[in-house]
Amino acid sequence: MKKNIDFIAEVGSNHNLNLNRCYKIISEAKKSGATAVKFQHFKLEKLFSSKAKIYKKIAKEIKNRELPDRFIPKIYNYCKQKKIKFGCTPFDLESVDLLKNYVDFFKISSYELNWEQLIEKCSKVKKPLIISTGAANIKEIKKVITILRKNNHKNYSLLHCVSNYPANPIDCNLKSIPYLKKVFRCKVGWSDHTKDPLIIYSSVKKFKSNIIEFHFDIDKKGWEFKEGHCWLPNEIKKVIKYLKFEKKIDGKFNKIISKSEFIERKYKADPSDGLRPLKKMRFK
């Protein structure tokens, strides 16, 4: 696996309005092999139109999922302490101003991809920018890149994703990853909503993802976990560890005895009588 692959743990609303829980999530993400954590910053009144029919139905739940402003500098400091990157998705223009002095990168949500004002404001901050492309067509993505280039913003990446929670592996269309690389000549990765280790493996091994983003929870108690797309530490750790050590696991193109096997060789059946262990070991 290439060393420059970033594994981003998307916290979303799994912070449950608890700062100590934020710290624990960050710590567990680091232990799991993540190189970055990403939070979301939104205000209900700036996220949904109060005139929408769905507003009254979801207002209380969305309000409870807001990340408090006062958490931002504390999360920033804790990430520095843990030596892990801190990113955040702004869902309104004021959030960009709040976050710009703390985050290592901005993330644009698939649902905000068409909001030119937000793209424009983020691009002027000159922080690395990661853009999710769920439910977007190529024309919409090109418009975003045009804005970035107009503002001479060169440090951007795209994430291919499927905006369903959880997403059906049949819908993943991972060939979009090399296609986006070819069209836009930038880093491209996979934002996972499948919770399928083989999808992540394929996106890296076969389609050369530069970034893997995964939704992350620590104990099944995060507010988003019930939706079925969040990874737990022991689950994602296995995937990241395998990808990091795959070359060593593959080994060499010959038959060799591993160092760990030499002890076991002593307990093989002796050629003279077929009994275990070897005769020289029977009285030790």
227-269 residue pLDDT tens: 999 999 999 999 999 999 998 889 988 988 988 899 999 999 9
Q: Compute the average pLDDT of residues 104-113.
A: 98
Q: 38 has which bridge partners?
A: 10, 87
CA distance linking residue 76 with residue 174, whole number of Å: 33
From the list 3, 94, 7, the residue with the least C-alpha distance to 45 is 94
Q: What is the pLDDT of residue 242?
A: 97
Q: What is the pLDDT of residue 109?
A: 98
CA distance linking residue 196 with residue 9, whole number of Å: 15
Q: What is the pLDDT of residue 276?
A: 96
Give yes or no for a cis peptide into 166 (omega within 30° of 0).
Answer: yes
Look over the chain and give the mean of its residue pLDDT values, rounded to a whole number: 96
Burial (CB count within 10 angstroms: exposed 0-12, middle 13-18, buried 19+), residue 104: middle
- Give 88-105 as a DSSP string: EEE-SHHHHHHHTTT-SE
Cite the beta strand spans of 91-220 per DSSP E.
Answer: 105-108, 129-132, 156-161, 187-192, 211-215
pLDDT digits (tens, 9 = 90+) for 200-234: 999 999 999 999 999 999 999 999 999 999 999 99
Confirm if 214 and 192 have CB atoms less than 8 A apart.
Answer: yes
Tokens of 93: 């223009």
Domains of the chain, CATH where assigned = 6-251 (3.20.20.70), 253-284 (no CATH)
Model confidence at 3, in pLDDT bands (50, 70, 90)?
A: low
Q: What is the pLDDT of residue 197?
A: 98
Q: Is the pLDDT of residue 1 over 80?
A: no
Q: Is the pLDDT of residue 2 over 60?
A: no
CA distance linking residue 218 with residue 14, whole number of Å: 9
Confirm if 188 and 158 have CB atoms less than 8 A apart.
Answer: yes
Alpha carbon 231 to chain centroid, angstroms: 10
